[in-house]
Amino acid sequence: MPSGKKWTRDELLVALNLYHKLTFGQFHSRQPTVVSLALKLGRTAGSLAMKLSNLASFDPALKLRGITGLPGASALDRTVWEEFHANLDETVPASEEALRALFNAGEDSEVEVLPKEGIRVRKRPPSGPTETTANVKLRRGQEYFRDAVLNNFGGCCGITGLAVRELLIASHILPWGMHPQERLNVRNGLCLSRLHDAAFDRYLIGFDDNLRLLLSPRLKAELPQKTVAENFGAYAGEALQLPNDAAAPELAFLAVHRERVLSTD
């Protein structure tokens, strides 16, 4: 493969898509998704891994944890990083479309970034009439958010550790419809089982500033039920399970959600 080939804006857009679907510790040349994408880009896995680490030097969340990334990022790297994060509603769907194009994914397919396996294209169940351009754009954003959040949690429910991807939901802490500026922010996401997502969405559970599970008064009243005790009571007071290098949920968002939880009876 060519050495010293300059990165283009479109390539960096796809690299940033992958960047937010992996944790910092996964930016290496043996990582299956890095290998998969590098092959499609016509680059070595080492080159892509280095670029991801270059981009990490701009990441404020990593800087707060004392992680600086690799030096040597280009002026174009910085420009694309700033463009990407200044208008996520536009750049995220565009990056998702670019990723799909690289993997020849048709409208009847979905692309999943699976850290343990690589990048997988699979058929999507039929969804009815053809979607409008606006709906496709929203769906691309949702697909990006799902992969980013699930991978941030190591592909497991943050409460139970359930690791069956089909049974996991990327839950928004601040609701999608009411907080458009945070729709695609991975720190506004929790990976939860379908059951716990439903409970979180209805303010039956929440989390404190130490990320420990809280039950609403309404749910506590149902603890005599065996199913409630096993699925919720057993985890009350336990901290969310997150990989060490994950981006932690935003505490301010959890606090807003928690106000509703503590008043739900």
Tens-digit pLDDT string for the chain (265 aa): 444 789 999 999 999 999 999 999 999 999 999 999 999 999 999 999 999 999 999 999 898 888 999 999 999 999 999 999 999 999 999 999 999 999 999 988 999 999 999 999 988 765 555 455 558 888 899 999 999 999 999 999 999 999 999 999 999 999 988 888 899 999 999 999 999 999 999 999 999 999 999 999 999 999 999 999 999 999 999 999 999 989 999 999 999 999 999 887 6
Residue among 74, 90, 75, 92 at smallest CA distance from 19: 92
**DSSP string for 22-35:** S-GGG-STT-HHHH
Q: What span, in angstroms and rounded, lies between the C-alpha atoms of 84 and 14?
A: 11
What is the pLDDT at residue 2? 43
What is the phi/psi pair of residue 252, to 5°?
A: -65, -35
| CA distance to 13, 59, 77, 143, per residue, from 82 (Å) | 11, 10, 9, 22
Q: What span, in angstroms and rounded, lies between the C-alpha atoms of 191 and 207?
A: 13
Please identify which residue in the block is written with the tokens 């080939």.
5
Q: What span, in angstroms and rounded, lies between the C-alpha atoms of 8 and 10?
A: 5
What is the pLDDT at residue 133? 55
- Helices and strands (H, E) in the chain, number of each type: 11, 6
What is the pLDDT at residue 123? 85
Q: What span, in angstroms and rounded, lies between the C-alpha atoms of 81 and 98?
A: 16
What is the pLDDT at residue 107? 86
| Residue ranges per structural domain of the chain | 1-146, 153-265
In this structure, what token pair is assigned to residue 95? 């990056």
72 Cα distance to chain centroid: 26
